[in-house]
Amino acid sequence: MKLLENGHEVICCARDKSRFNTPQEFKNQIEVLETDFLNRSSLSKIPKNIDGAYYLIHSMSSGNNFQELEKKSAKNFREALSNTNVRHVVYLSGIVNESTLSKHLKSRKVVEEELALGDYHLTTLRAGIIIGSGSASFEIIRDLVEKLPIMIAPKWLNTKSQPIGIRDVISILINTLFNEATFNKNFDIGGPDIISYKDMLLGYAKIRQLKRWIFTVPVMTPQLSSYWLFFITSTSFKLAVALVNSMKIEIVCRESDINKISSVTPVGYQESLKRTFSAYEKKEIVSGWRDSLVSGNFNRNLSDFFQVPTFGCFVDKRTISIKDHNRTLNKIWQIGGDTGWYYANWLWGFRGVIDKLFGGIGLRRSRTSMNRINPGDAIDFWRVIYADRFAGTLLLFAEMKLPGEAWLEFKIENKILFLTATFQPKGLLGRLYWYALVPFHNIIFNGMIKRIAS
């Protein structure tokens, strides 16, 4: 948004164009390309007449081979840009000042080395913990403090870090582009406070006026720590493993003149938190980590699920008359998260617990915004496939562990609310699963549609 406000024309690369919501007032300044930097053939769409580029890609949620994927992605990016007029690339990386690095931080360094081989000027900005929505580390801090009054935590909570607010990161990124004083250099960026993860958790609790007690123990292994984060927070298990290994390493900035060069003076941790909470209160959150496709089991384009199948499917369809179209629509658009599912929330919660026990995502993701829904958003253990308030339609796809695939559709037509659950089973187990849930569907869906329409 800041680039657009500064008058730039922006080309955005996305793996799924249907998830990119272009602001109406900037439609003439944005071009969206559907690309995958692990697929070289898709990069031919990148136009020649670009002057600068930001590299903001990582693959930590892809499993143990994320290092190979990150290097391949960086190489494909570099080679694709060799066919353009680009003269400056800015890469947002992680602080890599310790002699012993985690796989995640080693990979960040390898990507930097790969990008430096390009025929352009490279600037690398190395950040530690970024405070703000969209930062996986920050959302872990938020989930832990909001959900747990008492924490028995691993000793790595005493590791020092130098957090920086997301607004300051964006300002530095903007002011670095085409700034010749940054060409072919790397800089550590951080706020003025050097504090432990434990202090960050307690600092968050103080701002939120929550009483929290944290006790550290030396016996929690990285594997146990990863499971702990997975069950409590909205992060995926693969991402939790990568982050836990990095959290054992101090992430403190080297001295540099980046603040002077970029004309940015980062604020402290507490002020960064206040700014973030202000954005939440004003409902200005653009995206969150929980909406990322890797936060669940969704690994295809949304367009693959627009058409709900009918062949070989079980369908549960219910209708009810409504009196107030807008009120009903508002209820649908607020479903999930803190609002819940309007009826038998304890059953939804129990289903979430069962899902997590089997390695699913449960209800831990909640939702990013309580009033706004866009395609691709996560709502608890559902993924938004289609959302059109004007048409009165919301289509969700299930990301919980299932012996099949499931859709849930809300639709309003002529003062009638339709609630349709569709399940496409896989084999005998899928059919047994559906029949076992029929009694619960009668309870949950009947109660839910009545509450929404009331």
Task: Give per-residue pLDDT as tens, 211-234.
Answer: 999 888 876 666 666 666 777 776
pTM: 0.76
> Tell me: the pLDDT tens digits for 340-364?
899 988 888 888 888 877 777 777 6
Least confident of 53-62, 176-185, 238-247, 359-368: 238-247
Q: Nearest-CA neighbor of 409 among 433, 427, 385, 390?
A: 385
> Tell me: the pLDDT tens digits for 8-29?
888 988 887 777 777 777 777 8
The pLDDT of residue 213 is 92
The pLDDT of residue 203 is 93
Average pLDDT rounded to a whole number, residues 381-396: 91
Average pLDDT rounded to a whole number, residues 325-332: 94
* Contacting residues for 106 by C-beta, under 8 A, at least 6 apart: 67, 96
Average pLDDT rounded to a whole number, residues 89-99: 86
Angle 296-297-299 from CA coordinates, rounded to 5°: 110
CA 160 to chain centre: 25
Average pLDDT rounded to a whole number, residues 147-165: 86
Handedness of CA 182, 188, 191, 193 (dihedral sign): negative
Q: How confident is the prediction for the chain on average, in pLDDT?
A: 85
Whether the Cβ atoms of residue 312 and residue 159 lie closer than 8 Å to each other:
no
Average pLDDT rounded to a whole number, residues 90-116: 84
- Coil, strand or helix: which one is 328? helix
Higher pLDDT residue, 293 or 309? 309
Q: How confident is residue 380, by pLDDT bands cut at 50, 70 and 90?
A: confident
Average pLDDT rounded to a whole number, residues 79-86: 93
Half-sphere exposure of residue 368: CA atoms within 13 angstroms, side-chain side: 24
Higher pLDDT residue, 377 or 431? 431
CA distance 27 to 390: 20
Pairing of strands 10-14, 314-321: unpaired
Q: Above 60 in pLDDT, residue 294?
A: no
DSSP string, 109-174: HHHHHHHTTSSSEEEEEEES-EESTT-HHHHHHHHHHHH-SEEEEEGGGG-EE--EEHHHHHHHHH
Average pLDDT rounded to a whole number, residues 236-261: 78
